[in-house]
Structure 1
Amino acid sequence: MTLADRIEPQLKSQNLESRLLRAGDQNLTPFGPLERILRPIIRDWFSALGRLNPSPGATARRLAQAGINKAPIDFRAEQLLWAAGGFVLSLTVILVGAAAGRFSPLLAAVVVIGSAAAGFVLRDYWLGVQVRRRETRMMAEFPSLAELMALAVGAGESATGALDRVCRSAKGELSKEFSKILAETRAGKPLVMALQEFSARTDLAPLVRFVDGIIVAVERGTPLADVLRAQAQDVRDSAKRDLMEAAGKKEIAMMVPLVFGVLPLTVVFAVFPGLAAINLGF
């Protein structure tokens, strides 16, 4: 029982309905009462797993970077489910092979343990992929949102008003982060503190500079519009440099099939008629 359930009978309540008439908790699995009996035990296991995690803060930070509203314990539970899925899948393959007459105990043990470990690691890798994809989308949205915010500030809006206008005008991952900052500000948290928390949970240097510029402008009253335009231009220039770098890497990669595939075939087509003529001459 939670603390609220324990102290509820001691408090004056306006709800006169009996708890016996309340609807029970909805079962998440088809096991019925067994699920309700084992749910506290499973929750304690997940809590113990979270305490054994060497870096729960890093996991929470990565989940926030991926835009996943989930506790680190739930993420570890998902990793265990992925590991169980790999275990069941490999065990099924091994049983099918054993039924066909191909079975090696050592190989079966290695495959089963390796599949379970691979499922556990694969969930963590997929989280990293989600973080990178979200950061890519945020960087693609950043120049336009910075320009829009610079226009709003130049028109006389405050930093909070400019953020509000950006959130109402744009849709995307970065605007969701700005909406979260505004929600925290309206809940009573200072704007500077909300911006600092956003800066702490992102690894994107342009966004960190953007937040630092807003913080300096709010604290010291410095002009903000020119800073935002300069940062937006820096991000666009950085995107152009990344595009040129990617084009250079693709050009080098295209040399491999050209040198080892097209060029030898061209040489064969050029040399073969001469060799055929020499053979006919002999």
Structure 2
Amino acid sequence: MSTLVWGALLGGVAGAGLLLVGLRVSVLRRPRLADRVLPYVRDLPVRDHAAVLRPASSSPTTAAAGIFGPVLRSVADLVERVMGGSSSVRRRLQRAGLDRTVQDFRVEQAVWGLVGFGAAAGLSLLRALGGVGGVGSAVVFCALGFVCGVFLRDNRLSTQVKNRERQVLTEFPTIAELLALSVAAGESPVSALDRVVTRSHGALSEDLAQVLARIRTGEPVGPAFESLAASTGLPIVARFATGITVAMERGTPLADVLHAQAADVREAGRRLLIETAARKEIAMMAPVVFFVLPVTILFAFYPGVLGLRLTTP
């Protein structure tokens, strides 16, 4: 068959596949019968009430898992057996503030890997139609595409962790100062924490909201903050939680502790800014030396060289 026929065939198959995926996603996005009937039967006892009220996720990964669930789970199990590190993934998911399990993350890795595999397979097919490359190189290229997709999702998770920790460091001085002001005004630590959590929004506020939820369910204040210190990946937040615990156990003035920790974080941020500026100073010299300086020399000497050529007999 000619290239035109191959192109028409591939386009038709791709269009049919996209149509089927779109139809399936539209079906998954429809409200379930239980959600439509629930407002009329709220007074009846429901055992799985929280599960019924949970909104259905509409992310592409969830839609793909609903369509190709068994295949994706098999690929996710394979990725888990090859890569391992479930405890590290679980900790990074917790530090990134993502409400997902390790299995959900492995499914996402499988989806990213299959997308990379499909892109590599498409490029290999185009090369084969052009008469370039062989079967062995195409298989290796597709395998590399799958591996790159899997590692890109893992790298994306690490990036999410770093971004969230950067947000926590940015919010920490303000949150600590607000807690110190509330405690100095006469409120208890739990009341001050409730006031700050309800009036602030951000990554650190979400972590403190989880601590407040543990306290309200009956857990003592000290162990609740100790769990925050154990789960966070930032030494500053760990010292903050440990300082609150020690201040409440030994009777140390909590407001002074919070003010001192906020000042320490601001000083650490100032030092980091100075160090970053010192590193960027060397990098900023490259365009000056290699681009601005040669142009300046050219503008300074070219008229003189041109004048010497005109006056020389």
Q: One fold, TM greater than 0.5?
A: yes
- Contact 2:109–2:154 at 8 Å: present in 1 too? yes
**Superposition pairs for residues 259-278 of structure 1, below 5 Å?**
259-278=289-308
- Contact 1:135–1:204 at 8 Å: present in 2 too? yes
Deviation track 1:139-185 (CA, whole Å, cap 9, x = no partner) reads: 11110110000011112222212111110111111111111111112
Structure 1 residues 136 and 257 mapped into 2: Cα distance closer, same or farther (>3 Å)? same
- Contact 1:49–1:73 at 8 Å: present in 2 too? no
Tell me the amino acid that sits aligned with residue 224 of structure 1: L
- Contact 1:149–1:163 at 8 Å: present in 2 too? yes
Tell me the amino acid that sits aligned with residue 139 of structure 1: L
Matched, 1:87 2:87: no
Equivalent of 1:247 in 277, 287, 308: 277
1:59 aligns to what? 89
Structure 2 spans left out of the alignment, 5+ residues? 1-43, 46-55, 57-61
Q: Matched residues in 1 for 2:275 and 2:82: separation?
A: 42
Q: Matched residues in 2 for 1:203 and 1:227: separation?
A: 21
- Contact 1:192–1:215 at 8 Å: present in 2 too? yes
Tell me the amino acid that sits aligned with residue 250 of structure 1: K
Structure 1 residues 49 and 197 mapped into 2: Cα distance closer, same or farther (>3 Å)? farther
Q: Matched residues in 1 for 2:80 and 2:288: separation?
A: 52
Matched, 1:145 2:175: yes
1:178 aligns to what? 208
2:131 aligns to what? 101
Equivalent of 2:251 in 221, 233, 240: 221
Q: Give the deviation of 1:46 after TM superposition.
A: 5.1
**Superposition pairs for residues 1-282 of structure 1, below 5 Å?**
50=80, 54-280=84-310, 281-282=312-313
Tell me the amino acid that sits aligned with residue 271 of structure 1: F
Structure 1 residues 79 and 220 mapped into 2: Cα distance closer, same or farther (>3 Å)? same
Tell me the amino acid that sits aligned with residue 142 of structure 2: V
Greater alpha carbon shift after TM alignment, 163-172 vs 266-275: 266-275
- 4+ residue runs over 3 A deviation: 28-32, 41-54, 104-107
Structure 1 residues 169 and 31 mapped into 2: Cα distance closer, same or farther (>3 Å)? closer
Tell me the amino acid that sits aligned with residue 197 of structure 1: S
Q: Matched residues in 1 for 2:85 and 2:158: separation?
A: 15
Q: Give the deviation of 1:116 after TM superposition.
A: 0.8
Tell me the amino acid that sits aligned with residue 227 of structure 2: E
- Contact 2:211–2:224 at 8 Å: present in 1 too? yes
Structure 1 spans left out of the alignment, 5+ residues? 1-13, 16-25
- Contact 1:86–1:115 at 8 Å: present in 2 too? yes
Q: Matched residues in 2 for 1:232 and 1:81: separation?
A: 42
Deviation track 1:44-75 (CA, whole Å, cap 9, x = no partner) reads: 87568657653212111100110001111111
- RMSD after superposition: 2.7
Structure 1 residues 191 and 233 mapped into 2: Cα distance closer, same or farther (>3 Å)? same
Q: Matched residues in 1 for 2:270 and 2:64: separation?
A: 54
Q: Matched residues in 2 for 1:31 and 1:50: separation?
A: 17
Greater alpha carbon shift after TM alignment, 239-248 vs 148-157: 239-248
Tell me the amino acid that sits aligned with residue 211 of structure 2: I
Q: Secondary structure at the match of 1:93?
A: helix
Structure 1 residues 113 and 129 mapped into 2: Cα distance closer, same or farther (>3 Å)? same
Q: Give the deviation of 1:240 after TM superposition.
A: 1.6
Q: Matched residues in 2 for 1:62 and 1:148: separation?
A: 28
User: Identity over the aligned pairs, expressed in percent?
Assistant: 41
Q: Matched residues in 1 for 2:64 and 2:308: separation?
A: 81
- Contact 1:50–1:72 at 8 Å: present in 2 too? no
Structure 1 residues 43 and 117 mapped into 2: Cα distance closer, same or farther (>3 Å)? closer
1:4 aligns to what? none
Deviation track 1:171-211 (CA, whole Å, cap 9, x = no partner) reads: 11111111111111212222222211211121212111111
Tell me the amino acid that sits aligned with residue 162 of structure 2: R
